[in-house]
Amino acid sequence: MADEKRIDEPTGTSFVGHEWDGIEELDTPMPRWWLYTFYACIAFAAVMVVLYPAIPMLHSASTGVLGWSSHGDLAKEMAADHARRAPVMHALEQTPIEQIPSDPKLLRAAQEGGHSAFKVYCTQCHGAGAAGAKGYPNLNDDDWLWGGDLKTIQQTLLHGVRQPGDDETRMSQMPAFGRDGILKPAEVQDVVSYVRFLSKQEGVTASSRRGAAVFTANCAVCHGDAGKGNRAVGAPNLTDGIWLYGGDRDTITETVTNARYGIMPAWGARLDPVTVKMLAIYVHSLGGGEKTPVDPVPAPAESPVPAAVAAR
């Protein structure tokens, strides 16, 4: 502390009294515009308090003269975004699903829209990456119970699986062979051996030879003589490497004994048609999508225009 006001000779400014290792602080006056800038900031703040929400009240802040709110901003941006997307959504609504892939822009929009809808409605069962789980199909692979082309996927989405009250729902009913006493436990084990032989998980055994006969008598009607399944009735292919519930002996035994009845909501009743369309396109794009089968009508594939005319 300086007792007397001391003056720095070269500058004529008084010392403040602070000293660090011989370096002293001078009481140099601030520029006046600095003070004015400070006043301007205070004035700015006062205007802001009047114009915008600022003062905390009992339930919410004061509303401000402009009536601005962050919720209002969000609503405006959402409305603007809806308006921006409207033409694309309209085009998606108007275009038949099998023609969307020929328009890259539309296809991309549908894939992205389907991806975000998938996150909301589908991940609970099929998982965020659509890899499924036991009893919930993996949508990335190339194995489909009912078919993997765009129209078929859309149909499955619209009407769901085993939805009561929907005439077009995917409905397959495998008998509970063991529980209902159609097959004896030994026969069940034989047919399991045969199914594991079909999927190349086991070699030929006496049990699988006996099972072949049981299979032909009981299973081939839906799964086919070679066990390759039948999409018309939703019977899975038993010869491939993909199992919805599991391909080990215990799991197949459980499946044959009690049968499986997985379900999926009929999304046509819950979502708008465009969202269902986008979901179908997204699922189709995951890697297992199949080509839409060409109609077996005698129209040549090279001339789609006459075919379209003929269709009208």
Residues at the contact surface with other proteins, assessed by CB under 8 A: 1-5, 14, 16-17, 27, 29-35, 101, 127-131, 138, 140-143, 237, 240-242, 285, 287, 289, 291
- Distance from C-alpha of 147 to C-alpha of 305, rounded to nearest angstrom: 27
Distance between CA atoms of 130 and 287, rounded to whole angstroms? 11
CB nearer to other proteins: give 222 or 242.
242
Tokens 């003269």 belong to residue: 65
Q: Quick one: tokens of 198?
A: 């079909």
Residue type, 150: L
Provide the minimum distance between the beta carbon of 40 and other proteins in the complex, in angstroms, as a whole number: 12
> Minimal distance in Å, beta carbon 268 to other proteins?
26
Contact predicate 18/25, CB 8 Å:
yes
Q: Which is nearer to other proteins, 31 or 87 (CB)?
A: 31
Integer Cα distance of 32 and 138 in angstroms: 72
For other proteins, the closer of residues 159 and 196 by Cβ is 196
Decide whether 1 or 305 has the Cβ nearer to other proteins.
Answer: 1
Please report how close the Cβ of residue 126 comes to other proteins at its closest, in angstroms: 11
Tell me how far, at minimum, the Cβ of 44 lies from other proteins, in Å. 14
Round to whole Å and give the CA distance between 215 and 181: 16
Other CB atoms closer than 10 Å to residue 89's CB: what's the count?
A: 17
* Nearest-approach distance from CB 270 to other proteins, in angstroms: 25
Rounded Cα distance between 26 and 160, Å, is 82
Nearest to other proteins of 17, 96 (CB atom): 17
